[in-house]
A and B are shown apart, each in its own frame.
Chain A
């Protein structure tokens, strides 16, 4: 069952970046010198390759992944995680953007998600692109690609929690189903 082994995007065993290098970046991003990088500051520092602002929903997801105290921003200690997370995604994106267009089209998305272990119908990829493509070019930009993968991951995580015998099947009540998915999709 693919869903057991998969799911984490391939690991890039990149060596941890130099602290001085990270600090340099952190200071530049933390424009108001508050000591923490906010959603807005992170959004301004990131590029999705389309000259439009980075998806704020994705920014929020990333910050909340690394913001240990729910304070709405990341300190320098937490920032290393953010940096690595984004760098890993950049590497993955570049790997699957085979024609180097800066966008991932349906076939490239299929390769990527199949590579991560998902088994999804061809028709469903149309739905995914329609759902996540904010540029309206029938392809996904870097930020939307991350967003798509994050949602797939969240759904997988919630499914796994209910699949106690790990056989790839769950049985849930109506209420459980709604509580599981309402906030993810």
Chain B
């Protein structure tokens, strides 16, 4: 799906919503599942992405991956996602999907560890071979990584990197964690 048509929302003046919201096709998918509170849960996100046929030829996302996506953007620890986050998620997911498709040339729906490693590096993560192995091992089944697992991995990497960055005051690639904080921020992924 191509969303290049949107540009920045028009300036001010629309009552009850941000400018351009109503015209946004994504808004349609979102409100179809969101209900009155304008928030979606992991299950609703899964339904939403499936309905929007986000995964295209690939299998739809499993619920655990959707839960990871919600917590990646869940700033208020509400375990749910509003429309702005949904839009942000969509943009990020689209980038990852394009990337995956560019590697999965035979459209098999899976990539091998080597390709996964390259994908992770090209996203800008600098990991040692050992760290990379940890990452890949977690997500391979039978030596292959599916689209869903690839996305789950990207989400986790992004979330953990955010957690780390917040505790790396000097931006030197070293973070300090106090125990209680370590448990909570890491488990919140």
A residues touching B (Cβ–Cβ < 8 Å)? 1, 3, 118-121, 123-124, 126-128, 130-131, 136, 151-152, 155-156, 159, 163, 168-175, 177-179, 181-185
Contact = CB atoms under 8 A, between A and B. Distances in A.
A156 B183 contact: yes
A97 B29 CA distance: 40
Contacts, number: 99
B184 A173 contact: no
B67 interface: yes
Nearest to B133: A179
B186 A172 contact: no
B131 A175 contact: yes
Nearest to A132: B187
B77 A126 contact: yes
B175 A163 contact: no
A152 B160 contact: no
A171 B175 contact: yes
Contact of A169 (B131, B135, B168, B177): B177
Interface in B42-80: 43, 67, 71, 77, 79
A170 B188 CA distance: 19
CB-CB nearest 8 A-B residue pairs? A130-B79, A168-B179, A175-B131, A179-B131, A119-B180, A182-B134, A3-B179, A171-B176
Interface string B142-178: 0000000000000011001100100010000111111
B186 to A, nearest CB: 5
B113 to A, nearest CB: 15
A127 B180 contact: no
Interface centre among A131, A155, A181, A182 (most CB of B within 10 A): A182
A159 B182 contact: yes
A178 B153 CA distance: 12
17 contacts: A3-B180, A118-B183, A121-B184, A124-B188, A126-B77, A127-B71, A127-B187, A127-B188, A131-B67, A152-B187, A168-B178, A170-B177, A171-B177, A173-B173, A174-B161, A178-B164, A185-B187
A127 B79 contact: yes
B91 interface: no
A151 B187 contact: yes
B179 A182 contact: no
Nearest to A124: B184
Nearest to B76: A123
